[in-house]
Amino acid sequence: MEMPRPDGGLIARRDRIVAALRAVLPADAVIDDPAETRAYECDGLTAYRCAPLAVVLPRSTAEVAAALALCHAEGVPVVPRGTGTSLAGGALPTADSVVLGVGRMTAVLEIDTVDRIVRVETGRTNLAVSAAVEEAGFFYAPDPSSQLACAIAGNIGMNSGGAHCLKYGVTTNNLLGLTMVLMDGTVIELGGAHFDAAGLDLMGVVCGSEGQLGVVTEAVLRILPRPEGARPVLIAFASPEAAGACVADIIRAGVLPVAIEFMDRPCIRACEAHARAGYPDCEALLIVEVEGDEAEIAHQLGLIERIARRHAPVLVRESASAEESARIWLGRKSAFGAMGRIGDYICLDGTIPVSELPRVLAAIAALSARYGHSVANVFHAGDGNMHPLILFDANDPASLAGAEALGAEILRLCVAVGGCLTGEHGVGVEKRDLMAVQFSPDDLEAQMRVKDVFDPRWLLNPAKVFPLAASEGRRAA
């Protein structure tokens, strides 16, 4: 992957820029010691690293505004960062940029169970949002696998989903309002504590914009009453294609589970070794969860199990207790970490029509054999959001190059069957040069004009989302 050319003038002025930041922010909010900034030189895509000019860690919207206004005046690029869990290089710095992290902004500002909203600062983690409203009997629905660590800021930036998004939707379906600071330090409010705010849906533009338009510091999120009950069923198959066909039939039948998760044999084995979840030994496994009262649960599971039996499952097993259900989900939520114990991997997130699952799984297996890289599949099958994990050796540049080439082939395949390049991880640096596979030059130009409006100097999150030559040309213009 090509890295952008840093602005040598900014690097030469580093000490002056850092001193200016310290003049407008608390002393402990600015980090410039190379030993300390090293923690910010990459995110979850660890194959690429770059030390930033400096790091700022504000504690309020006012401090974010002060930092951005100063960087705007000095012409310094800014890389917004939540907690650094991005798997697409969304928070990868450039050598001439300041990383602005919101990880210290974690307050719960308001809980309203009548209007069913919670207002939080966006450095708060996803799981901590649900924890804040749990005692009142509510929860926040989007649940990425990294929910223990990922920040709401990043969830908004990437429009994250999770296992339960099949029923409850992704971040944009649960985001009601936000506070955002523009690159010049202007603070704006979008939406509010209600659905369908007046005016243009600018919040729909911001959610999923990957830090290209502003820094979101506060969010109003929809919370939901906890369901009366929920139960997963494990359905094991002799082939990934059979599992994929079963998913398509469940959706085609009009059944709406809370979640349908898929794992193939390599991932099943890794998760079982790591979490002891009680998974069967099989080629492919579906975790299908439904919710409601006991009668609703029994009815839905009966329908799902009848559909599954058309595809010759080797095992169908309902969870027998809350403890078993927790183990089943612990295994799935631990999948990425469990695979990390086996080796280095690139995690993709192309999205496809559910009907194409059998064909795409077979094609990925063929591509894996052709490129000589093992691929483990774990993904949100109900909405076709795939997460192929491509194993490689991080100490071998040729191995990384081969894994990236295989990843590009898989993403092209997703687009070719009617899907898209990303479901929830974002484009970041990983897919920026594949954007032309999905979008025409006119499409890309329209998207870049939106950024022109919010960030005319192209200082926010440089070298992401758009092909590098196009974004560098825009910044230089």
Please indicate, yes or no, whether residues 244 and 329 belong to a single structural domain of this protein.
yes
Question: Does one domain contain both 112 and 220?
Answer: yes
218 in any annotated domain: yes
In a domain, 288, yes or no: yes
pLDDT given for residue 5 in this prediction: 84
- Tell whether 67 and 121 lie within a shared domain: no
Q: Are 124 and 197 part of one and the same domain?
A: yes
Residue 254 lies in a domain: yes
Q: What is the pLDDT of residue 180?
A: 98
pLDDT in tens, the chain (477 residues): 777 888 999 999 999 999 999 999 999 999 999 999 999 999 999 989 999 999 999 999 999 999 999 999 999 999 999 999 999 999 999 999 999 999 999 999 999 999 999 999 999 999 999 999 999 999 999 999 899 999 999 999 999 998 889 999 999 999 999 999 999 999 999 998 887 777 888 999 999 999 999 999 999 999 999 999 999 999 999 999 999 999 999 999 988 999 999 999 999 999 999 889 999 999 999 999 999 999 999 999 999 999 999 999 999 999 999 999 999 999 998 888 899 888 899 999 999 999 999 999 999 999 999 999 999 999 899 889 999 999 999 899 999 999 999 999 999 999 999 999 998 999 999 999 999 999 999 999 999 999 999 999 999 999 999 999 888 888 877
Q: CA–CA separation, 337 vs 146, rounded Å?
A: 10
Whether the Cβ atoms of residue 211 and residue 464 lie closer than 8 Å to each other: yes
User: Looking at 238-311, which runs of residues are DSSP E strands?
Assistant: 259-264, 284-291
What is the rounded distance in angstroms from the CA atom of residue 23 to the CA atom of residue 411? 46
Q: Across 122-223, where does the E strand assignment appear?
A: 138-139, 175-181, 187-191, 215-222
Secondary structure letter of residue 460 according to DSSP:
B
Q: Which helix (H) or strand (E) holds 316?
A: strand 315-318
Q: What is the distance between the alpha carbons of residues 48 and 41, in angstroms, rounded to a whole number? A: 8
Q: At a CB cut-off of 8 Å and minimum separation 6, what does 39 contact?
A: none
Does 20 fall in a domain?
A: yes
Do 28 and 81 belong to one domain?
Answer: yes
- Give the Cα separation of 406 and 315 in Å (integer): 32
- Note the pLDDT of residue 57: 98
3-state DSSP call for residue 352? coil
Q: Provide the residue count of the chain.
A: 477
Please give the backbone phi and psi of residue 264, each rounded to the nearest 5 degrees, phi first. Answer: -100, 180
368 assigned to some structural domain = yes
What pLDDT does 3 receive?
Answer: 77
pLDDT in tens, 202-227: 999 999 999 999 999 999 999 999 99
Do 387 and 309 belong to one domain?
Answer: no
* 442 within some domain: no
CATH code, 377:
3.30.70.2740
Q: Could you tell me the end-to-end alpha-carbon distance of the chain, in angstroms, rounded to an integer?
A: 24
Split into its structural domains, the chain has a count of 4
Residue 70 lies in a domain: yes
**Number of Cβ within a 10 Å radius of residue 415:** 17
Same domain flag for 42 and 149: no
Residues 203, 114 share a domain: yes
Number of other CB atoms surrounding residue 115 within 10 Å: 12
**Each residue of 255-276: pLDDT tens digit?**
899 999 999 999 999 999 988 9
The CATH number given to whatever domain includes residue 295 is 3.30.70.3450
Residues 94 and 116 placed together within one structural domain of the fold: no
Give the CATH number for residue 154: 3.30.465.10
113 and 218 belong to one structural domain = yes
Tell me how far apart the alpha carbons of residues 267 and 471 are, in angstroms, rounded to a whole number: 37
Q: Are residues 48 and 114 in the same domain?
A: no
The values of phi and psi at residue 101, to 5°, are -100, 140
Of the residues 307, 336, 365, the one at which a domain ends: 336
Q: Name the packing angle between helices 294-308 and 240-252 (round to 10°).
A: 130
Q: For residue 27, what are its two tokens? A: 């002393």
Sheet containing strand 175-181, edge to edge, reads: 108-112, 117-121, 215-222, 175-181, 187-191
Packing angle between helix 240-252 and helix 357-371, nearest 10 degrees? 160
Same domain as 247, residue 351: no
pTM: 0.94
Give the CATH number for residue 22.
3.30.43.10
**pLDDT at residue 319 in the model:** 94
Residue with tokens 């398509």: 248
Phi, psi of 156 (to 5 degrees): -70, -45
Cα distance between residue 387 and residue 156, in whole Å: 19
Q: Final residue of a domain: which of 382, 408, 425?
A: 425
Measuring CA to CA, which residue among 278, 322, 431, 308 is closest to residue 381? Answer: 308
The residue range of the domain holding 98 is 8-103
User: How crowded is residue 364: how many other Cβ atoms within 10 Å of its Cβ?
Assistant: 24
**464 belongs to a structural domain:** no
- Helix/strand number for the chain, H first, E second: 19, 18
| End residue of a domain, out of 38, 70, 103 | 103
pLDDT digits (tens, 9 = 90+) for 87-99: 999 999 999 999 9
Q: Is 275 helix (H, G, I), strand (E, B) or coil?
A: helix
Give the tokens for residue 298: 């029994």
How far apart CA 432 and CA 434 sit, in angstroms, is 5
Token readout for 149 is 């660590």
